[in-house]
Amino acid sequence: MTKRVLVAMDSYRLAECAVPVSCYICGVDNNYNTELCRHCAAPLALSHQARTQGLRPQMVAVLGTAAAGKTVYLGMLLDMLTRQNGRVQVLARGAFSITLQQRTMMALSNCRFPEKTPNEPDRWNWVHCQAKINSKKNPMELIMPDMAGEAILEEIDHPNAYPAIHSFLEKCSAVILLADTDRIERGGAEQNYFLMKLITYLSEQDNRKVRGKSTRPVAIVYSKADRCEPCFDDPELYAREKTPNLWQQVQQRFTNYGFFASGVAGSVGFRDAPGEGPTAVPLRIEPRGIVEPFEWLVRKI
């Protein structure tokens, strides 16, 4: 005698796949089984995870020029916070969220910096994590992508050139803005102009304003500050003296802002590679000022 069993109908399973999934970044509908959004190329795993959780993730942007140190900073930050049991702790959501941390730490352990982030959005690393802060009762869900510097600049000069960046910056709750201290010390004006463009773009895009100023928290982080020790002593004074235009723009356009200094490589050398010219090599890893900007930012959200 055969016992009664319940067998799901295949047509019912197919009906579930027919329901579209909205991209969490740009909001465009996609097929259920699609891996990346057909419009902005953000991973749809973000949408699936957000739908299964009661708390909607906040977005935090890490911006800067090409080679400003975004990948190294973000990778080192995640590695420190996943191990740290102090004031802030991070728990990765989804295996894809660990890729950036893994690639960064593997590269640094082999005495080299990670490869430059490609311009194609479908090759960017996205991080979805849960952040626990001692002073807050409930943990926070955060999304932080590692976007290419050239793509960010292209989007600022030509809005909607990169739908992922445009939608993300429009919705993001807070911004970490990296300024390359090494290039500032060498006297180049590129960092100053780029950061002024970004500050203008972010303030005009934000609708949450009080007395004409954006309330979105912005942390200006001078990366590679290990090559300029006075920057660690007083980052705001350094901003006032070395990047006065940027300092003035931030004062006039934002209400919540902070200046910080950070460094990952305690010492850097150079080697000549055939056909590539001088290549920077991290001689030792000595992270300083990595967690402080992030901790300040999430307390402001």
DSSP letters, 58-112, are: EEEEEE-STTSSHHHHHHHHHHHHHH--SSEEEEE-SGGGGHHHHHHHHHHHTTS
Query: Any idea which residue has 């430059």 for tokens?
Result: 116
Q: What is the pLDDT of residues 171-226, one digit of tens each?
A: 999 999 999 998 888 887 888 888 899 999 988 887 777 778 889 999 999 999 88
Residues with Cβ within 8 Å of 150's Cβ and at least 6 positions away in sequence, in order, are: 66, 119
pLDDT of residue 217: 93
Confidence of residue 260 (pLDDT cuts 50, 70, 90): very high
Confidence of residue 151 (pLDDT cuts 50, 70, 90): very high
On whether the CB atoms of residues 209 and 254 are closer than 8 A, the answer is: no
CA pseudo-torsion sign 128, 81, 107, 74: positive
Q: What is the pLDDT of residues 103-146, one digit of tens each?
A: 999 999 888 899 989 999 999 999 999 988 877 778 889 999 99
- For residue 240, the one-letter residue type is R
Confidence of residue 154 (pLDDT cuts 50, 70, 90): very high
Mean pLDDT of all residues in 262-275: 81
Mean pLDDT of all residues in 65-77: 92
Say if residue 6's pLDDT is above 90: no
On whether the CB atoms of residues 226 and 282 are closer than 8 A, the answer is: no
Query: What is the percent of the chain with per-residue pLDDT over 90, rounded to a whole number?
Result: 46
- CA 222/CA 239 separation, integer angstroms: 9
Mean pLDDT taken over the chain: 87
- CA 45/CA 35 separation, integer angstroms: 7
- CA 269/CA 113 separation, integer angstroms: 12
- CA 34/CA 21 separation, integer angstroms: 9
Rounded to 5 degrees, φ, ψ at 17 are -70, -20
Rounded to 5 degrees, φ, ψ at 288 are -135, 140
